[in-house]
Structure 1
């Protein structure tokens, strides 16, 4: 336990020193501010850029528009940033040989994997929570009403998908032993899950639902039960990838 805590602290401090955590945190903080602001001013911007004499009728901005921006930015740019920033969390140390040195000196493989995963999840949670809280605060400020069923469940679902991506990056780093392989595995898995989303019957079992059906969940056009089932599948996949990563199936030293 002591080695786990010490190695986790080392991972967090390294992310701070290399500015990875700062970059991730600042990007999501910026998203937090932009989400409600864009929802509020976008209709005015569209009206200002229309040719003279042309008019369009736009609905009054609502709280749900702010959260639509939140889930859109998180599912697209946010997940890409998260994957890229942590793509070298395992593969980078293997390619440089520093991890091999620590393992051969007696550091447990389980400690290595769990510490790196815990560190990444901790940084992802802080960044994502900051974005969600800022979005919430400014949404309440700009809009009078915010009656959105299942909002918390939608926010939680995207966080779970981010955790799944981190487990994929760690697994990919061990499998391919380079950053490009880790990115390829995470990106390829996301592409496959996106293609599976074309089959409606598979949506309740598809983790991609956690970042694609959030708005429909808030408008009750998608079942909360099916959403929870997708979350359960994502949690199981995360656990499976971590177990395989901690086993001797994927070699750290070669």
Structure 2
């Protein structure tokens, strides 16, 4: 436990010095502010678009439209930023050999994996919570509050998908060599999940739905129970990925 705590603190200090904390918090806060503002300004922006022979009828933006923008921003640019920030979370340590000394002094390899994942997950959770709070505050200020079903669960699903990405990224970094080998494998894995969902219609157990059906859930176009099942399955995937990462890293030569 002492090794885990010390390495966790080291990861956070490194994240601060490498500006990961500043970058994630700044961009997340920006997403939180941009989303309701974009929804509020969209009718005015589209009203200035001249299309010959067509009349654009634009409904007034609502409380729900602001969350459409929030989920669009985070499910696309937000996840891309998350992968870029943590793309070399373990791979670069393995390439540079910075883990040799602490491991030789008795640091558990399991502690390395768990501390790295916990630090990354804590940073992701903090920045996402900040964005959600800023977004909710601005949305309340700009729009009339309406009752939205499953709002918290929709936000949770997107957070859980981010946690899933971090687990897959860490596991891939253990398996594949190179500074950004884990990042490339994770992106390829996302491509496979997308193909499975869009082409082969393999949606029943696909974690990608956690980041693609948030608004459908809010508007009752997606059922709650199937997404809850996928959330449990994704949690199982995260646990399995971490166990696999620890098992492989224990036997990996550094």
TM exceeding 0.5 = yes
Unaligned runs of 5+ in 2: none
Give the alignment of 1:78-89 within 5 angstroms.
78-89=78-89
Runs of 4+ residues over 3 Å off in structure 1: 51-55, 199-202, 248-252
Displacement after TM superposition at 1:247 (Å): 1.1
What's 2:25 paired with?
25
Displacement after TM superposition at 1:52 (Å): 8.9
Displacement after TM superposition at 1:195 (Å): 1.4
Displacement after TM superposition at 1:186 (Å): 1.0
Displacement after TM superposition at 1:53 (Å): 9.0
Against the structure 1 CA distance between its residues 213 and 20, is the aligned structure 2 distance closer, same or farther, given a 3 Å change threshold?
same
What's 2:62 paired with?
62
Displacement after TM superposition at 1:204 (Å): 3.2
Give the alignment of 1:1-254 within 5 angstroms.
1-50=1-50, 55-198=55-198, 202-248=202-248, 251-254=251-254
Tell me if structure 2 keeps the 8 A contact 1:39–1:66: yes
Tell me if structure 2 keeps the 8 A contact 1:100–1:253: no
Distance, in Å, in 1 between the alignment partners of 2:104 and 2:241 is 23
Displacement after TM superposition at 1:179 (Å): 3.0
Aligned to 1:88, what secondary structure does the other structure show?
coil
Displacement after TM superposition at 1:87 (Å): 1.0
Aligned alpha-carbon RMSD (Å): 1.8
Aligned to 2:203, what secondary structure does the other structure show?
helix
Distance, in Å, in 2 between the alignment partners of 1:244 and 1:100 is 21
Displacement after TM superposition at 1:10 (Å): 0.9
Distance, in Å, in 2 between the alignment partners of 1:148 and 1:187 is 33
Displacement after TM superposition at 1:180 (Å): 2.4
Distance, in Å, in 2 between the alignment partners of 1:201 and 1:91 is 33
Against the structure 1 CA distance between its residues 250 and 198, is the aligned structure 2 distance closer, same or farther, given a 3 Å change threshold?
farther
Tell me if structure 2 keeps the 8 A contact 1:33–1:138: yes
Task: Name the stretch that deviates more: 159-168 or 143-152.
Answer: 143-152
Tell me if structure 2 keeps the 8 A contact 1:175–1:250: no
Post-superposition CA distance 1:185-235 (Å, at most 9, x none): 110111111112126863231100000000100011111111111111111
Displacement after TM superposition at 1:72 (Å): 0.6
Distance, in Å, in 2 between the alignment partners of 1:235 and 1:178 is 28
Tell me if structure 1 keeps the 8 A contact 2:117–2:166: yes
Tell me if structure 2 keeps the 8 A contact 1:170–1:182: yes
Tell me if structure 2 keeps the 8 A contact 1:100–1:252: no
Aligned to 2:60, what secondary structure does the other structure show?
coil
Equivalenced residue count is 254
